[in-house]
Amino acid sequence: MKAPPITKTDFHFTGQTSAYFGKVRDMYGIGGDLMVAVVSDRISAFDVVMPRGIPFKGQVLNGVAAIFLDAVSDIIPTWKIATPDPSVTIGYRCEPIRLEMVIRGYLTGHAWREYSAGKRVICGAEMPDGMKEHDPFPSPIITPATKAEEGHDEDIAPNDILAREIVSEEIYSELERVTRALFARGTEIAAKQGLILVDTKYEFGVRNGKLMLIDEIHTPDSSRYFYAEGYQERQDSGEPQKQLSKEFVREWLMDHDFMGLENQTVPHLDDAFVELVSSRYIELFEKLTGTTFHGDTSEDPLARINTSVEEWLSKR
């Protein structure tokens, strides 16, 4: 049994001061120092939200993010305080830095599309000649993107980040250092589960003058994983890599002539495809965490969330 997917929220929590509705997360401000993130079952690709929700997707994202936020809290303070509901994280309100710190260990996805178009530099990072799709870089490259309020995020080189004064040189240097440390930790954890962390993105904010990790981390929406077993054999034979990520959704959309471009129409997501996507998210949760996924199947997930959050707020 699956709960109805959460595609829209409109909560009015005690002490609520603001509401922001993102592509996947709906963020509710409580007082001056708390944020309630409700992770919906919406799915986006090419910066476009699909018309149908994916059962259990929000619970998977929230569960993976909660585990990994705890697993890296010795590297950098994180915004997370509690997860009072399978679809909710409550944390500190931070002033977000309008950058996504993307780090890539392998020539895959967007980097491969740029590479195959003839580019050898992306966001100021050089990519060697003679690489094949899914080959590892000599060392991971950082390819930041501007964080757009609407539409597409855009690649940006470090010198442009500094020229536009998005952050200071000192802060950007720290962002790069922490990004590499987080990627190393994620790579280590994934390897223990027989996975390769291929690429991912991190988002940061500032609270009381201190840099903090915000949003999600190492989830299938923000990251790409390969199965380690058979990776080299598949590379040597030119076979596609077996991966756990949202990339298969993008590939399905591209096969149906959609890449989020002007005048393109989102194809219909039929029941079979929605079920496939849901099962792939659950597979990643179980493979990455080494635990069985037990999704909450409440018939009214919005009422469940409201009760969970209000109970937590009443006890703080």
Phi/psi-derived region of residue 194, left when phi > 0, alpha when psi is between -120 and 50, beta in every other case: left
User: Of 245, 268, 295, at which residue does a domain stop?
Assistant: 245
Query: Domain range holding 174?
Result: 96-245
Do both 106 and 227 map to the same domain?
yes
Give the Cα separation of 295 and 212 in Å (integer): 29
C-alpha of 123 from chain center: 20
User: Of 245, 261, 295, at which residue does a domain stop?
Assistant: 245
Give a yes or no: residue 219 inside a domain: yes
Give the Cα separation of 289 and 308 in Å (integer): 24
Do both 20 and 89 map to the same domain?
yes
Give the Cα separation of 269 and 43 in Å (integer): 11
The pLDDT, as a whole number, for residue 287 is 92
User: Of 194, 214, 245, at which residue does a domain stop?
Assistant: 245
Q: Both tokens of residue 302?
A: 């919005």
Phi/psi-derived region of residue 123, left when phi > 0, alpha when psi is between -120 and 50, beta in every other case: left
The pLDDT, as a whole number, for residue 295 is 94
Residues 6+ apart with CB under 8 A from 177: none
How many residues does the structure list for the chain? 316
Task: Give pTM, 2 decimals.
Answer: 0.91
**What letter would DSSP give residue 302?**
H
| Helix extents (H) in the chain | 57-71, 110-116, 158-163, 169-192, 231-237, 247-255, 271-289, 301-315
State how many domains the chain has: 2
* Residues linked to residue 88 through DSSP beta bridges, in sequence order: 38, 85
> Quick check: helix, strand or coil at residue 295?
coil
Give the Cα separation of 218 and 238 in Å (integer): 27
Give the Cα separation of 204 and 270 in Å (integer): 36
Do both 216 and 122 map to the same domain?
yes
Do both 126 and 238 map to the same domain?
yes
Do both 174 and 59 map to the same domain?
no
Do both 166 and 239 map to the same domain?
yes
The pLDDT, as a whole number, for residue 297 is 94
Do both 183 and 285 map to the same domain?
no
Do both 237 and 282 map to the same domain?
no
The pLDDT, as a whole number, for residue 189 is 95
The pLDDT, as a whole number, for residue 245 is 78
Give the angle 116-121-125 at the CA atoms, nearest 5°: 130
Give the Cα separation of 100 and 175 in Å (integer): 10
Tokens 């697993």 locate to 71
Q: Say what the alpha-carbon torsion angle 289, 106, 267, 299 is, to the nearest 10 degrees.
A: 10
Do both 123 and 197 map to the same domain?
yes
Give a yes or no: residue 3 inside a domain: no
Tell me phi and psi for residue 22, to 5 degrees: -90, -170
What are the mean pLDDT values of the chain's consecutive 10-residue runs (316 residues total)? 87 97 96 97 91 96 96 98 98 96 96 96 97 98 84 86 96 98 97 96 97 95 94 97 85 92 91 93 92 94 98 95
CATH number for position 183: 3.30.470.20
The pLDDT, as a whole number, for residue 212 is 98
Give a yes or no: residue 1 inside a domain: no
Do both 77 and 30 map to the same domain?
yes
Give a yes or no: residue 7 inside a domain: no
The pLDDT, as a whole number, for residue 298 is 93
